[in-house]
Amino acid sequence: MRFQYCPDCGSKLILKPIGDEGDTPWCERCQKPLFDMFSTCIIALVVNERGEAALLRQNYISQQYHNLVSGYMKPGETAEECARREIQEELGLTVTSLEFAGSWWFGKKDMLMLGFFAAAHSGEMKLSCEVDGAEWVPVEAALGLVHPRGSVSYAMVEAYLDRKNI
Ligand SMILES: [Zn+2]
């Protein structure tokens, strides 16, 4: 999102050259830059002690493909806290360990996705109302069930398998 008006005071922004950034939208009244904005989300591949991944059915996202856990970050939260919270909210599972997997830019939604591999015990899942179903499937099988190659979920599963095979 590119600002044209200041979200704090409503003034029309001007372009002002700022250091290495070059011409940047600037509010004269608040004396501050308003850089283009994007959302930051986490996406998590949750794997249990049997090497199975938690795949979600979320009809509002896709009727065809399964999803990984994902969600928007809240202000004040670290990416790790967000990943633990989303996994708890969506699946009712407590994360036992968490590892940063990499980041992906999701251009269709102007979104930076921070990926995590999360370990959790395969206890009973308690699904949130945003989740229509969830199941454990072997990670190898997950490649054929998530959104196809080119998607962030696919890249995440592939990265997990690549790492396992090193
Ligand atoms: Zn302003």
Contact by Cβ (8 Å): 23, 17: yes
Contact by Cβ (8 Å): 68, 143: no
pLDDT at 77: 97
Using a CB cutoff of 5 Å, list residues around ligand 1, an ion: 6, 8-9, 11, 27, 29-30
Single-letter residue type at 45: L
Instruction: Give me the residue spans of the domains in the chain.
Output: 1-37, 39-164
pLDDT at 4: 95
Q: Which CATH superfamily is domain 39-164 in?
A: Nucleoside Triphosphate Pyrophosphohydrolase (3.90.79.10)
Residue 34 CA to ligand 1 centre (angstroms): 9
Residue 112 CA to ligand 1 centre (angstroms): 26
How does pLDDT run along the chain (166 residues), one tens digit per residue?
A: 889 999 999 999 999 999 898 999 999 999 999 998 899 999 999 999 999 999 999 988 888 999 999 999 999 999 999 999 999 999 999 999 999 999 999 988 889 999 999 999 988 899 999 899 999 999 999 999 999 999 999 999 999 999 877 6
pTM for the full predicted model: 0.87
Q: Classify domain 1-37 by CATH architecture.
A: Single Sheet (2.20)
Local structure of 144: helix, strand or coil = coil
CA distance 112 to 124: 31
Residue position matching structure tokens 């979320």: 58
